[in-house]
């Protein structure tokens, strides 16, 4: 969250006035759905709207991230209406489609294909135009696709002979062999700093830290 606000605030003149809600100017960002459900390997379209509509696409700045725990993965970074592909996280490389022309209607549509379970989480988009700054969030849950019933039954039947062989073998060796089961737990650190704007000033870092210290998701 801090990285998004830092990036967008760095693009806004200091003379901008803040509203009581914490947004700047009169820009309002909404989501068409607060929660999405999809299956693995399918596609999903996440949608945000913002008003008022921009006068020109070149006045639009967008920064969209997936937040999962302490990890932040960038889906889309738009600078003056131009996509910055270098900012996109490797997790979403080649899987996110974006129609730039829809920005004229105040609409952001991100189509994510070949969904994975790790795509589940909170999706947050920050938007800045000449009218101000705003953000909107939605949640996506990706589930594993169940195999067809016939496929599951065939797989079950194919394992039955193996189970009997394993049972007889185990009974014959039971008096001589002691079975030891070892469990291994692997813990992957998810602590990766989100993308930050280049060369942020110390003053801006201090300002953003103060604004975000009470924010929770």
pLDDT at 116: 96
pLDDT at 139: 97
| Domain map (residue ranges) of the chain | 2-144, 146-178
Supply the pLDDT for residue 214: 40
Taking the C-alpha atoms of residue 158 and residue 188, their distance in angstroms, rounded to an integer, is 35
User: 84 φ, ψ to 5°?
Assistant: -100, 90
Over the chain (217 residues), the average pLDDT of each successive run of 10 is: 49 38 71 96 97 92 92 94 93 94 94 96 95 94 78 55 53 40 30 38 34 40
CATH T-level topology, domain 2-144: Immunoglobulin-like (2.60.40)
Give the separation between CA 192 and CA 17, rounded to whole angstroms.
33
pLDDT, tens only, 130-159 = 999 999 999 999 999 876 665 555 555 555
The pLDDT of residue 69? 82
Q: How far apart are CA 134 and CA 128, in angstroms?
A: 7
Q: Which neighbouring-strand residues pair with 64?
A: 76, 125
Q: What is the pLDDT of residue 210?
A: 37
Helix axes 2-9, 202-212, angle to 10 degrees: 130
pTM: 0.61
């Amino acid at each position: 969250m801090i990285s998004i606000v830092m990036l967008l605030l760095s693009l806004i003149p200091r003379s901008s006035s803040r509203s009581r809600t914490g947004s700047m100017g009169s820009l309002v960002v909404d989501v068409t759905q607060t929660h999405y459900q999809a299956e693995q390997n399918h596609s999903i379209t996440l949608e945000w709207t913002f008003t008022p509509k921009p006068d020109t696409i070149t006045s639009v700045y967008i920064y969209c991230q997936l937040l999962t725990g302490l990890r932040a993965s960038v889906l889309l970074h738009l600078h003056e209406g131009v996509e910055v592909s270098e900012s996109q996280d490797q997790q979403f490389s080649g899987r996110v489609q974006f129609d730039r022309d829809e920005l004229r209607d105040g609409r952001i549509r991100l189509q994510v294909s070949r969904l994975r379970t790790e795509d589940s989480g909170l999706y947050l988009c920050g938007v800045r135009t000449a009218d101000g700054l705003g953000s909107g969030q939605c949640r996506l849950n990706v589930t594993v696709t169940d195999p067809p019933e016939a496929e599951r039954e065939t797989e079950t039947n194919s394992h039955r002979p193996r189970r009997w062989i394993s049972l007889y073998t185990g009974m014959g060796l039971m008096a001589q062999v002691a079975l030891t089961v070892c469990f291994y737990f692997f813990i992957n650190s998810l602590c990766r700093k989100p993308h930050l704007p280049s060369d942020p000033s110390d003053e801006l870092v201090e300002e953003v830290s103060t604004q975000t210290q009470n924010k929770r998701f």
